[in-house]
Amino acid sequence: MIKAGQIERPKTVLVVDDQEINRDVLEAILEEQYEILFAENGREALEMIRAHQEELSVIMLDLMMPVMNGFEVLQKLREDEELQKIPVIVLTAEREAELRALQAGAADFITKPFDEVEVIQARVGRIIEMSEGRKLISAAERDALSGLYSRNFYNEYASRLFRYHPELRLDAVVLNIEQFHSVNALHGRAFGDEVLRTIGREIRAFLAETEGIAGRMDGDRFGIFCKKQADYPGLLKRFQRELDRRFPDVNIHLRVGVCPWGENTDPVTMTDRARSANSMVRGNYKNPIRIFDEEMQRQEMLKQRLLNDLNRALEEKQLTVFYQPKYDIQCTPPRLSSAEALIRWQHPELGMISPGVFVPIFEGNGLIGLIDNYVWTEAAKQVARWREQFGFTLPVSVNLSRSDMFDMHLEKRLVRLIEENGLEYRDIKLEVTESAYTNNAQAVLDVIRRLRDIGFDIEMDDFGSGYSSLNMLSDMPIDVLKLDMKFISNIAVSETARRLVLLMLDIARYLRVKVVAEGVENEDQLEILQNSGCDLVQGYYFSKPVPPQTFEELIRKEIQTGRTKAE
Amino acid sequence: MTLQELYGNIGESYEHALRVLRVEKLVDKHIRKLVTNGLIDSLLAAGETMDPASLFETSHAVKGNCGNLGLTRLSEAASRISEEFRPGNPRTMTDGEVKAQLDEIAALYGKTAEEIRRYAAENP
């Protein structure tokens, strides 16, 4: 193992004394442990300090010297932000001078004559140690690239500001670069670094004009706590203008989220909120700034509430599965052929919550897997119950979220459901949205292919809303295409919409897969789809999603009228 | 004459000098320099004009130099002058008394210098 001592830089001491005998004595005392430089007066010392700033560990400074005395040197060092970091030990025989020197910024003093050698060596060693410790802390405190605080220090200082200076009422700002990884990839890391440096410089210049602190939170994300600004869009423009000026040939777009100060807010929450606001304008090149407002706060609180309540909701069966029938329309009259299982949340305090509200929240953090599992289990049990009740099987399709694809127990889970309920694989159909295929497509395709090989039918949900290329589509392991309802809504009134649907039906025929049209609401739409060769439809025309009991009544009614596929 | 003998001849402590300067070589180097660097001559010259700033600076330098060399009597005498002329300190001696102190330093130095020159001649 390489020990820290082996990689320590050599320590250099600058001895400043007009008396050769003093320089010689200190050399004799220190030469075994340190590299030693000499200066004979204050002016010469300052020149040496500037020239050897990086290597100097300590300055040993005589106070009484010609040309420029030690106090003047201390004063000059104090005025320089960088030089003041080098510790100074004053060399003096006068007790009064000691105090004055310490007050002027000296770290310690050594009395002349230098007859206590070990004391001198120990003092020099201790001062160097303390100063290096401080330098380490100082290096960790600042992000070298931007010159702003590094993340941990930024967070700590923000928290202190809020604790000790609540009167400042600081707003939180989170700023980053749109698609910064692309800037790095296209123009190189060095260019990216220069961009970050420029932003750091601009933020520092801004903070020189107002009260606040700033830090580089990570990558291209910067955080600022500053006094309320009248014009945040103007501030963003100012930063953006400088980037445009510095890098005229490259498109670099900043985006900003702001969380204004409010009673009872802490810096961590404010930063989170500014980040949320920031992420809401991701990709919005036209208006890349968002101020956290009440609506966002309401949404955030709802999100937090729902995240907290999910487990209880599952335990207390607040989540219920509704079913929406699918009708085969290629027979007359159309026949109830299957159903789609859809989740509903009857919250004890918030009432019925739309899946459009809670599904995206749980998709964002992987908890959707819990909900999906719940729906699969309920749906499988329901199919088994109806089979027992009515003597035939009505297949039910369930949704598979993108995150489910990365559940290594997915296949096992689904197979067990089929087996435990005595079902066939084709009784549970798996709906996967087209967009789930977009990223990491191969991994998703592999999972779906395996499920299909086992015997599950795969339905591609929301077809037409994603970005599948026709070429890719031909390779996809699917049995059914579900046309997104937005294509259906206008087919009775728009020739273009109708042609588009016809085109998609042609694609399905070419792929030899069946088509389900979603969102069918009226007879005209149904007729067009029937005449165009669409196989199945789903929508309010037949029934909205209903609870299992209501669905049972529907099945009974259809059995009576012979409009089921009862076999 | 050895260094120890030199110190014996001038009535000062070689051990003290060695404790501060650590090596004999440094004692040898700086005791020889005392008679060539003009330090004490500068102090005596300052006494001619009675210029307070020069008196303070030169006596301060002599005090330190001689202190390091273990020349206690010279160092202490120079210290009295430097305290007399330290900026901010009230004067406690008359000019005549200062001159008397300087004469004492000159006499002490004369004797010391003579021995040092002899030592240097014997140890070229």
Which residue do the tokens 């002016």 mark? A43
Cβ–Cβ < 8 Å for A257, A279: yes
Total structural domains within chain B: 1
Which residue do the tokens 């102190």 mark? B101
Minimal C-alpha gap between A76 and chain B (Å): 22
CA A76 from centre of chain: 46
pLDDT digits over A197-247, tens only?
A: 999 999 999 998 998 999 999 899 999 999 999 999 999 999 999 999 999
Query: B72: domain range?
Result: 3-122
CB atoms within 10 A of CB A277: 23
pLDDT of the residue at A567: 44
Which residue do the tokens 């399905």 mark? A508
Say which CATH topology domain A316-561 has: TIM Barrel (3.20.20)
Cβ–Cβ < 8 Å for A360, A302: no
Could you tell me the CA-to-CA distances from B15 to A258, B19, B30 in Å, in that order?
74, 6, 15
Predicted structure pTM score: 0.55
Mean pLDDT computed over every residue of chain A: 89
The arithmetic mean of pLDDT across residues A89-95, rounded, is: 82
* Distance (Å, whole) CA A559 – CA A553: 10
pLDDT digits over A3-43, tens only?
A: 655 556 678 899 999 888 889 988 988 888 888 999 999 99
pLDDT of the residue at A9: 66
A25–B21 C-beta distance less than 8 A:
yes
Q: CATH classification of A4-140, choosing from 3.40.50.2300, 3.40.50.150, 3.30.429.10, 1.20.1740.10?
A: 3.40.50.2300
Say which of A19, A25, A64 has its CB closest to residue B20: A25
Cβ–Cβ < 8 Å for A126, A120: no
CATH of the domain at B80: 1.20.120.160
B29–A24 C-beta distance less than 8 A:
yes
B67 touches chain A (CB under 8 A): yes
ipTM above 0.90, yes or no: no
Please name every residue paired with A291 in a beta bridge, in sequence order, or none if there are none: A258
| Shared fold status for A149-292 and A316-561 | no
Residue A77, pLDDT above cutoff 50? yes
Mean pLDDT computed over every residue of chain B: 89
Q: Where are the alpha helices (DSSP H) in A176-285?
A: 180-187, 189-209, 232-246, 267-280
Q: Which of B14, B20, B26, B81 to mutate to probe the A interface, most A CBs <10 Å?
A: B20
Cβ–Cβ < 8 Å for A511, A477: no
Report chain B's C-alpha Rg in angstroms.
15
The arithmetic mean of pLDDT across residues A48-59, rounded, is: 89
> Hey, what CATH class is A149-292 in?
alpha beta
* Distance (Å, whole) CA B101 – CA A358: 97
Domain boundaries, chain A: 4-140, 149-292, 316-561
